[in-house]
Amino acid sequence: MFLFRTLALGVALCTTLFVTGCGTVSTLGKLENGAGSEAMRMWDRWIEGDGDIAVATTWERKVKAGVSAKDVEDILKMVAVERNMRDVGVLPLSKELEARSGKKEKLLTVYSYCSPGTARRMVDFSPHMAAYLPCRVSVVEKDDGLWLYTLNMDMMVKMGRKLPSPLKEEAQAVRDTIFEMMERASKGEY
């Protein structure tokens, strides 16, 4: 698999360089250190997910048995407060569907968090980043229990153009907060 992946990457790079020339070389020099490694991790997840781009671009955690949806919600809020992130909204989608149909639905709730100052500076750096706002953690009930999903925040910090300081450190802090939310909530760690 490693040989195939390395060969495929080599062919892709050669093709890209041949087709796009100097623009590609110029862009590669503007990327964060480790961008290639992160891109390969995403590539591997994309392949493992049978081409599902959402698999490649997200993190997921299975919630430990015995940890309730209420526990998850409380822990997400607690970590947000501890790390100075704003709770900016909840979308109780399964409750909305139940209200419309009158039928019980599996849990689907989206929690939104933001660091307003960091968000503003990220959008000033790249207006397209506004599409990723706010940070979201979704709680999804599946047949085997609860799961948490969020955007792979390493894409923001490691794969793009080099972030200027102090924005880079602020973005890393947001990434670390979302990661901690996922870890602690999935384990029921108050």
pLDDT at 23 over 70: no
Scored b (16 or more CB within 10 A) or e, 132-143 reads bebbbbbbbbee
pLDDT of residue 175: 97
Give the confidence band of 134 by pLDDT, cuts at 50, 70, 90.
Answer: very high
Contacts of 81 (CB under 8 A, 6+ apart): none
110: left (phi over 0), alpha (psi -120 to 50) or beta: beta
Percent of the chain with pLDDT over 90: 76
The pTM assigned to this predicted structure is 0.84
pLDDT at 49 over 70: yes
Contact 46, 55 (CB under 8 A): yes
Q: For 51-74, what is each residue's pLDDT tens digit?
A: 999 999 999 999 999 999 999 999
Q: At what angle do helices 69-82 and 167-187 cross, to 10 degrees?
A: 150
Pseudo-torsion of CA 94, 156, 39, 53, nearest 10°? 20
**CATH fold for the domain made of 59-187:** TATA-Binding Protein (3.30.310)
Structure-token pair, residue 69: 């949806």
Contacts of 123 (CB under 8 A, 6+ apart): 129, 130, 133
The full set of domain ranges for the chain reads 59-187
Name the residue among 177, 104, 163 with its Cα closest to residue 134: 177
Q: For 88-126, what is each residue's pLDDT tens digit?
A: 999 999 999 999 999 999 999 999 999 999 999 999 999
